[in-house]
């Protein structure tokens, strides 16, 4: 399948039942980096397959801060644009609160959200193509998610939102909490 070249193409990719392919291992963001360092990130990147065909120019990407168990998790579908992968839908779980401050044309303008929220393609589609891929705002509009009590609930949610049939194969990251002085 060719790389998506429009909002309609991205929506088709999002709605199509798909599977994660390749190793679903969490890896240090910087190879050779120390996972136990404060702020060290772990990433998981997988190609996507829909109906037995690899989706060109699209991948699944997840990132966590290794030292903060059950916090600061982002999972997204990305499209290759201008030589870089850019998200076209993303869930932020227990990260930073979000307020839709920009883009008064959005029905979600000024909506304040907690630490867990979703940046859906349909809520950002008004930006148009290719601006949705090229935006420095990185999907500026978000909406609320249901309560996601734990990592397992997050995986169940992204399986549904991203239409990933085998999302349950994503294992919990190898968190490495740092010890602190009392």
pLDDT digits (tens, 9 = 90+) for 122-179: 999 998 888 887 776 689 999 999 999 999 999 999 999 999 999 999 999 999 887 5
Cα distance between residue 2 and residue 56, in whole Å? 6
pLDDT at 63: 96
Cα distance between residue 117 and residue 145, in whole Å? 5
pLDDT at 145: 95
- The alpha carbon of 180 is separated from its chain's Cα centroid by a whole number of angstroms, namely 30
pLDDT band at 181 (very low <50, low <70, confident <90, very high): very low
Q: How many CA atoms lie within 13 A of 181 on its CB side?
A: 0
pLDDT at 105 over 50: yes
Place of tokens 């772990």: 42
Count of other CB atoms within 10 angstroms of residue 157: 19
Cα distance between residue 75 and residue 56, in whole Å? 19
Helix, strand, coil: what percent of the chain each, to 5?
A: 20, 30, 50
């Amino acid at each position: 399948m060719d790389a998506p070249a429009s909002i309609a193409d991205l929506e088709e990719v999002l709605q199509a039942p798909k599977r994660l392919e390749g190793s679903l291992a969490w890896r240090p963001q910087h190879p050779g980096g120390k996972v136990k360092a404060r702020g060290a990130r772990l990433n998981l990147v997988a190609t996507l397959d829909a109906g037995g065909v690899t989706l060109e120019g699209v991948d699944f990407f997840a990132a966590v801060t290794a030292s903060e168990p059950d916090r600061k998790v982002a999972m997204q579908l990305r499209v290759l644009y201008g030589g870089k992968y850019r998200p076209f839908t993303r869930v932020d779980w227990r990260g930073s609160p979000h307020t839709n401050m920009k883009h008064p044309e959005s029905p979600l303008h000024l909506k304040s959200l907690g630490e867990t929220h979703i940046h859906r393609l349909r809520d950002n589609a008004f930006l148009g193509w290719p601006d949705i891929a090229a935006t420095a705002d990185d999907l500026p509009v978000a909406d609320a998610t249901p309560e996601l009590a734990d990592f397992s609930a997050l995986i169940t949610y992204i399986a549904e939102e991203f239409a990933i049939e085998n999302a349950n194969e994503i294992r919990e990251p190898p968190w490495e909490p740092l010890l602190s002085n009392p």
